Structure formats: C-alpha cells, structure tokens
C-alpha cells in the first residue's frame, strides 16, 4: 500500500468516538464493544492475592466485573457470580454445557453463551433466568487429520478450539458468533432475533462493534464487516490457507477497532491490520508458523498481542506494523493482553501471569498459579518449556485431549484478565479464579 494512502487512513476521523478512551468498566470481554483491551484502573503489582474461588473444572472464560461482583463461566457448566471484595459466592446458574464464552453485563443483566447451544440472559443480582436464545447448536471446528493427528483421513474436532464466541453489546443489541456458522444480532432486552448472517464455517471469534459495523472472523478463513443494524455484508477479507494438515487455518482471535483500522490475529500465523471502511490490507505481521489466537489490545499508538508456538509477546506500531518490542515467555499463549496503568497483563499455558511495561516490554512482575507451583517440576523441562511429545505420546485425538487435561494441571491461563479498581481477575485451567493486587 502506498504511504500516502496509509497516512490518509490513519489520520481520518472515522471511528474516533469508539477509540478515544477505554470505558471505566470491566463488564465486557476486552473492556468495551470495540475490544480495545484497555481498562481504566491503577496497575496491579501482582504481589498479593486478595481471594481465590474454586470450581471442579477449568476456567477458560474471561471474567467480567460489574456492580460489586465478578462473573465467570466454567467448564463445570456454571455461570458464577462472586463478590469482588471477598470472593464469596452470590449465585451460580447451571447450563447443560461448559461455558467458555466470556460474560458481559449490561442494564443489570448478565449474558453468556454455553456449549449447550444457548445464549443466556440472567438477572445480574440474583442469577434468575430472563431469557435464553437457542442457536443452531455448538460444535468445534472439524477437518480430516487435523494437526497431523492420526488416522489422517478421519474427520475430527479440533481439540485446540477452546473458546466459543463472547457477547458484545451495543445500542441494546447483543452480537455473538456460533458454531452453527452464524453471526447473530439479538435484542438484549427481549432475546428476540434481529438478524443472522451465515458464514462458511464455525464462528468462535467474538464480535467487535464500532461506527455501526460488526467486525468478526470465521474458521472459513474470511474476516467480515457487517452492518450492525441489518446484518448486510459490507466487505470481507480472505486470510491464508493450509491444505496439508489443517493446522494454519481460520480466525479465532477477536478484533480490535481504532482510528479507522481493524486488527485481528489468525491461525495462518499473521496479525492483520485492515482499513475498517473497505477491508483493504494496510499491513500484516508474519509470526513464522505460529498461531495468533489471543485478541490484540490497542494502547498509546501500539497494538499488543501474544503468539502460540512463537512464545513472544509483541508490541507493534499501530499505523505501520513496525516492531516496538518483543518479550519472550516459556511456552505457548492464547491469552489476550489487558492493559491498565501503562502495564500489559497476559497469561501463559505454564501457569504464569506477566505484567509488562507497555512502553519498553520490560517484565515488571509475574504471578504463578497454585497449579504451576505444585506441578512445575513434573510438567516442565529444565528450560521451563512443555515437552509436547510427552503430553501427546500416541498422536491420536484421545491422546491429545488427555494431554491438554494434564497441561491444565499447571493452572494454565488461557483467558484474558479483567482489571478494575487496582485488582486483576483471572481464571486458570485448574479451576481457580484469582483476585490479585
């Protein structure tokens, strides 16, 4: 793209209202509908734990914080509300499937989706059901011989397709993707369908909304811009493909929108920056075979994101894609960074939570989950890395599922931190929700 066009796009006033500042709330995945990932809070030091809340399962869902409570979904099928000051349970609501969707709170109502195929609206104070919306059903992305798993010609679900779409709410409408290939717009008050848009495969990315447009990717490799009022397609952008082992395909990362540019990661091992008006490619960053599963954060003219197999946390110039810094960690990460007080926080599969200076990339603090302290010696090698061959010994789907369960014994952090009033809230793979100062 010519430099003059890039400067014109970046200088345009379009979408500025959605990107001027983070909302003073942690009530939605990535803090607001534009998914900037920035929280108006003092930066936690990660030096002390205020409280822990435990479930018999795993936390993949990212928490939401509102009205003195923390809301989170668990693999035990429960949506839980605990008090933010002491972690005591206020209520829980049981669905019929794991809740790996991150909740959102709007108008005293809690919204979340479950693998049982329903989107739920609950009274935020009592947990009483207000309505539920039935999709066409959830499922994982499937392909033959995925990730080289044997037998190579068998259609199989992707065991690393961990998340389902999280709701975003804008102007009284709830937007969410589904494993039934659709993007839905639902009346947030009544649960009535306003529109749906059908893609070519599973939609587990979470929608971002800015300037009357819904931005979302699909496992069909396309990134879509849809009219928020009608669901009409404005444009779509095709990402890369891998026709060998179905490893590098599809969009799981949710997008972030600011200053007329939309950013998202892809399993084709790139982070993309597109013109939000027409989908034209502005730049892309090559991760050399590593997925970008986590959603990017936007702060101070930079885009921040984690990578999986590359084991690098990046900060790139938001306008040009030039690298500002990189910071290494021990193993793969799906966690989306959250920024507060000039510090970026993200988690890793080895059970470590990092706090990194958003200007320099210097690691300011780390926090180790209880599972990591207990199992680090048996689950990690001398370098602090996961020996994947040891976790997936026979190359079958069943072997990988068992291996993932073992990895989660480290208290793996795969969700995004929520930050409010100087406290960071995060769940771990060993079923612990932490409130960390």
Q: What is the pLDDT of residues 62-107, one digit of tens each?
A: 999 999 999 999 999 999 999 999 999 999 999 999 999 999 999 9
What is the mean pLDDT of the segment spanning 252-266? 98
Residue 217 and residue 245: Cα distance in Å, rounded? 21
Q: Give the percent of the chain with pLDDT over 90.
A: 86
Confidence at 220, pLDDT banded by 50, 70, 90 = very high
What is the mean pLDDT of the segment spanning 402-416? 95
Q: Give the percent of the chain with pLDDT over 70.
A: 94
Average pLDDT value over all residues in the chain: 92
DSSP-assigned beta bridge partners for residue 156: 143
Confidence at 25, pLDDT banded by 50, 70, 90 = low
pLDDT of 327 > 80? The answer is: yes
Please, what are the domains in the chain?
Answer: 3-436 (2.130.10.10)
Q: What is the pLDDT of residue 387?
A: 74
Residue 304 and residue 284: Cα distance in Å, rounded? 14
Q: What is the pLDDT of residue 19?
A: 35
Q: What is the pLDDT of residues 143-184, one digit of tens each?
A: 988 888 889 889 999 999 999 999 999 999 999 999 999 999
| pTM, 2 dp | 0.93
DSSP-assigned beta bridge partners for residue 187: 173
Q: Exposed, middle or buried, 69 (CB in 10 Å: 0-12/13-18/19+)?
A: buried
Kindly state the tokens that stand for 160: 């690393």
Residue 159 and residue 164: Cα distance in Å, rounded? 13
Looking at residue 17, the DSSP 8-state letter turns out to be H
Residue 79 and residue 87: Cα distance in Å, rounded? 14
What is the mean pLDDT of the segment spanning 176-193? 98
Kindly state the tokens that stand for 303: 């885009």
């Amino acid at each position: 793209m010519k430099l003059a066009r890039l400067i014109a796009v970046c200088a345009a006033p379009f979408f500025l209202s959605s990107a001027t500042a983070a909302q003073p709330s942690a009530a939605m995945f990535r803090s607001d509908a534009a998914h900037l990932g920035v929280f108006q809070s003092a930066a936690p030091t990660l030096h002390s734990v205020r409280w822990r809340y435990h479930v018999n399962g795993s936390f993949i869902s990212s928490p939401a914080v509102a009205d003195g409570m923390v809301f989170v979904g668990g693999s035990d099928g429960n949506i839980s509300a605990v008090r933010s000051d002491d972690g005591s349970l206020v209520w829980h609501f049981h669905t019929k499937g794991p809740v790996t969707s991150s909740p959102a709170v709007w108008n005293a109502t809690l919204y979340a989706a479950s693998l049982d195929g329903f989107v739920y609206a609950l009274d935020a104070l009592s947990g009483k059901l207000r309505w539920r919306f039935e999709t066409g059903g959830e499922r994982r992305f499937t392909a033959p011989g995925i990730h080289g798993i044997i037998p190579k010609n068998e259609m199989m679900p992707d065991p690393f397709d961990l998340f389902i779409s999280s709701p975003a709410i804008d102007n009284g409408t709830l937007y969410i993707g589904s494993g039934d290939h659709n993007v839905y717009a639902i009346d947030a008050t009544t649960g009535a369908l306003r529109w749906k848009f059908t893609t070519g495969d599973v939609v587990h990315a979470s929608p971002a909304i800015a300037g009357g447009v819904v931005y979302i990717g699909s496992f069909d490799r396309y990134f879509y811009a849809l009219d928020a009022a009608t669901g009409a397609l404005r444009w779509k952008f095709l990402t890369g493909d891998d026709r060998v082992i179905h490893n590098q395909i599809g969009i799981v990362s949710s997008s972030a929108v600011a200053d007329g540019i939309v950013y998202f990661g892809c399993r084709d091992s790139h982070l993309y920056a597109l013109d939000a008006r027409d989908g034209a490619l502005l730049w892309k960053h090559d991760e050399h075979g590593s997925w970008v599963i986590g959603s990017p954060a936007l702060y101070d003219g930079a885009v921040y994101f984690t990578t999986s197999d590359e084991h690098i946390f990046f900060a790139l110039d938001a306008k040009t894609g030039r690298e500002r810094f990189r910071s290494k960690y021990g193993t793969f990460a799906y966690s989306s960074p959250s920024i507060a007080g000039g510090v970026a926080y993200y988690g890793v599969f080895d059970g470590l939570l990092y706090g990194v200076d958003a200007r320099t990339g210097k690691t300011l603090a780390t926090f180790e989950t209880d599972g990591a302290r207990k199992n680090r010696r048996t689950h990690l090698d001398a370098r602090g890395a996961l020996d994947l061959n040891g976790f997936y010994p026979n190359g079958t789907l069943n072997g990988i599922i068992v291996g993932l369960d073992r990895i989660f014994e480290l208290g793996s952090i795969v969700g995004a931190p929520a930050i409010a009033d100087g406290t960071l809230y995060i769940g771990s793979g060993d079923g612990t929700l932490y409130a960390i100062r």
